Amino acid sequence: MRQKKIWLTLLTAVVLTAACTPRNTPSSRKTTTADTVLTQAFIHRYGQHYKKIPCQVMSIDLYSEGLTRGEGDTLRGTGTNLYFSDVFLDTQAAILPAAEYRLDTTAAPGTALPAREYEGLVTGTTLVQVQDGSTVSISMFESGGFRLHYEGDTAVMEIHLETSDRRHYDGTYRGVPHYEP
């Protein structure tokens, strides 16, 4: 009888612990940025950029209102810059195809590189917060992705990314992207 009581007490403790454990709900997630609406998009076509990878490669450079590109790699204003340095495609598409893209290191079509440090530089998928032209913070994304579809010429992106320390970024873009050679 005493052993049965001990097992019942342990089972009750386990159930209560599980019931009281906080869940990772959207309202309890840590967010890494205040800007979530991106208003400008620049897409650069690299073509078959890597010799060993038979994919087409593009980059996506997104900006929130109030932030613009300066000369070279400088940023002017205040806002957010989200950058996907390498997005891999299996086609010779003139525009970024509507699809779901995920971050991973395989370089398979429909993927984008997660953030990595390479020879002292940060590459991959990053978010830069800028205040009056000065970098305030850089977030490096390890997982997540984005969904892209078109409404006529208008590109619509839903972006959901996560850093290695489980900080989330949810952003949107709606507009006509500028394609660069």
pLDDT digits (tens, 9 = 90+) for 93-152: 888 999 999 999 999 999 999 999 988 888 999 999 999 999 999 999 999 999 999 999
**The pLDDT value given to residue 70:** 85
Residue with tokens 């299996």, as numbered in its chain:
90
pLDDT (tens digit, 9 = 90+) per residue, 63-88?
Answer: 999 999 888 878 999 999 999 999 99
Share of the chain residues as helix, strand and coil, in percent rounded to the nearest 5: 10, 55, 35
pTM: 0.79
Over 90: is that where the pLDDT of 92 sits?
A: no
Average pLDDT, the chain: 83
123's torsion region: left (phi>0), alpha (psi -120 to 50) or beta? beta
Structure tokens at 26: 């959207």
Over 60: is that where the pLDDT of 11 sits?
A: no
